[in-house]
Amino acid sequence: DQQVKQNSPSLSVQEGRISILNCDYTNSMFDYFLWYKKYPAEGPTFLISISSIKDKNEDGRFTVFLNKSAKHLSLHIVPSQPGDSAVYFCAARDDKIIFGKGTRLHILP
């Protein structure tokens, strides 16, 4: 039973445009949501997080939006750059961190 779902296995976006990665969750007890970025042959690196009491958090080109009523969050990257090509994992925390399956983002030149 997947508590954190990333329904798009991959996404291609033109360089300079906005990338939007989506994530749905089922457990209303999650208190924190996180996005991690992973390059091949490396471990995931923390990107940005949001508390369940907020609906938006911004850090440079990265913004995470949380819609608690819909149990949905999204990561916006604007403008998208070639170095953003990676796998992005959505994750949520109750007493442990639970990861989605990831979305592979391709930034096209």
Partner 1 sequence: NAGVMQNPRHLVRRRGQEARLRCSPMKGHSHVYWYRQLPEEGLKFMVYLQKENIIDESGMPKERFSAEFPKEGPSILRIQQVVRGDSAAYFCASSPWRETEEQYFGPGTRLTVT
Least distance in angstroms from the C-beta of 43 to partner 1: 3
* C-alpha separations of 82 from 14, 35, 46 in Å: 9, 18, 19
Site mask for partner 1 (CB under 8 A), range 8-47, x = bound: -x----------------------x-x-x----xxxxxx-
Contact set for partner 1, span 41-100 (CB under 8 A): 41-46, 49, 89, 93, 95-100
**Number of residues engaging partner 1 in binding (CB under 8 A):** 23
Q: Quick one: which of 29, 35, 10, 40 has its CA closest to 105?
A: 10
Q: Please say whether the beta carbons of 9 and 21 come within 8 A.
A: no
Distance CA 109, CA 107 (A): 7
Least distance in angstroms from the C-beta of 62 to partner 1: 14
Question: Could you list the residues that contact partner 1 (CB under 8 A)?
Answer: 4, 6, 9, 32, 34, 36, 41-46, 49, 89, 93, 95-102
